[in-house]
């Protein structure tokens, strides 16, 4: 058989050493932010039913969890509060109450781990009796009336010493409003990682289970983006950049890899992607049933998000990935 091939791509795949040498995309713990769920009280570690391996932590045990993760090489954490229904109201007033357990815990975390990067979320839904990201009046989510509440929330969180604020509410103008509030109060070094392209997705349900934050009526389609829309993400990115965002985020990640790539190719800002709860739980459920190799699927998903252009990945797999990377 006379076969004349000058180019044989398989030559660059013939050994583990060569494959590693030409590898184009890599995931490192430095790329990851680990979301954590905080509850009031002490000695609380309660697994989220729909998110195997993910827990709600009281502050005392969360400090230990953060220390464990830091030892594994994870240095960035996004901390969400699970708020009792009895403490929620229409104006989310607990979100800026300096004596609230969440804000007190943030101060302690930064005191114990000043070298860690701590991110927080800006939206009303964890604190709102209506369960929506904005202020509700007569069944409507009011954009401009929400901004002042978000500003108070952002300032209260910045005062705890955290590093990055993540406005996830999708209200128009919120990045600029928050940036102005922060700068006027002297918090010019606090970063904003805007949830720029946050879609009205079916993949959020386990997260809402973790925080008991599902909307009490309707849905979030008047403020979160239509999954059918692509170029609209460029509009949101342009606005957030002009208003002072430091990072642009796409949420969810796996069903929106094209949007990650789109923003990466059209922005000079770092691009983040949120590998959301539903994406995590799907892999965990399939692995539990023996339908796929959970560890390989996890690594492949994170790699695909990086390959699409994400500089930063928020993922519930962060600790597991770090543990496997040490083996």
56-101 per-position pLDDT tens digit: 999 999 999 999 999 999 999 999 999 999 999 999 999 999 999 9
Give the pairing type, strands 76-81 and 55-58: unpaired
Catalytic residue selected from 88, 94, 220, 251: 251
CB-based contacts of 245, cutoff 8 Å, min separation 6: 175, 179, 192, 193, 194, 196, 269
Give the pairing type, strands 247-251 and 164-167: unpaired
Q: Model-level pTM?
A: 0.95
Q: pLDDT at position 327, please? A: 73
Q: pLDDT at position 2, please? A: 78
Catalytic residue flag (residue 299): no
Q: Does 208 have pLDDT greater than 80? A: no
Q: Does 205 have pLDDT greater than 70? A: yes
Question: What average pLDDT does the structure give for the chain?
Answer: 95
Q: Does 116 have pLDDT greater than 80? A: yes
Domain boundaries, the chain: 23-325
Q: pLDDT at position 213, please? A: 66
Task: Provide the 3-class DSSP secondary structure of residue 250.
Answer: strand
Catalytic residue selected from 88, 94, 198, 220: 198
Mean pLDDT of 153-171: 97
Q: pLDDT at position 181, please? A: 98
Catalytic residue flag (residue 251): yes
Topology of the domain covering 23-325: TIM Barrel (3.20.20)
């Amino acid at each position: 058989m006379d076969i004349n091939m000058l180019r044989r791509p398989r030559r660059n795949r013939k050994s583990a050493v060569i494959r590693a040498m030409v590898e184009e995309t890599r995931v490192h713990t430095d790329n990851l932010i680990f979301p954590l769920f905080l509850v009031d009280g002490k000695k609380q570690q309660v697994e989220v039913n729909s998110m195997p391996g993910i827990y709600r932590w009281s502050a005392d045990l969360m400090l230990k969890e953060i220390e464990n993760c830091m030892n594994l090489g994870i240095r960035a954490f996004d901390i969400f509060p699970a708020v009792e229904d009895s403490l929620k109201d229409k104006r989310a007033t607990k979100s800026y109450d300096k004596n609230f357990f969440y804000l007190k815990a943030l101060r302690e975390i930064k005191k114990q781990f000043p070298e860690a990067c701590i991110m927080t979320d800006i939206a009303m839904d964890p604190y709102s009796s209506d369960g929506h990201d904005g202020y509700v009046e007569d069944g409507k989510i009011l954009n401009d009336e929400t901004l002042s509440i978000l500003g108070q929330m952002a300032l209260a969180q910045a005062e705890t010493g955290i590093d990055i604020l993540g406005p996830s509410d999708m209200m128009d103008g919120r990045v600029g409003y928050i940036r102005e509030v922060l700068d006027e109060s002297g918090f010019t070094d606090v970063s904003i990682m805007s949830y720029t392209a946050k879609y009205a997705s079916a993949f959020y349900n386990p997260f809402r289970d973790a925080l008991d934050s599902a909307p009490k009526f309707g849905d979030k389609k008047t403020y979160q983006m239509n999954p059918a829309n692509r170029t609209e993400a460029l509009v949101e990115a342009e606005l957030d950049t002009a208003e002072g965002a430091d990072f642009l985020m796409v949420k969810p990640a796996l069903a929106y890899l094209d949007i990650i790539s789109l923003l990466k190719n059209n922005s000079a800002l770092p691009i983040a992607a949120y590998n959301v709860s539903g994406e995590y739980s799907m892999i965990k459920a399939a692995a539990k049933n023996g339908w796929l190799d959970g560890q390989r699927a996890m690594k492949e998903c994170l790699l695909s998000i990086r390959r699409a252009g994400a500089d930063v990945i928020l993922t519930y797999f962060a600790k597991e990935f770090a543990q496997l990377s040490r083996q």
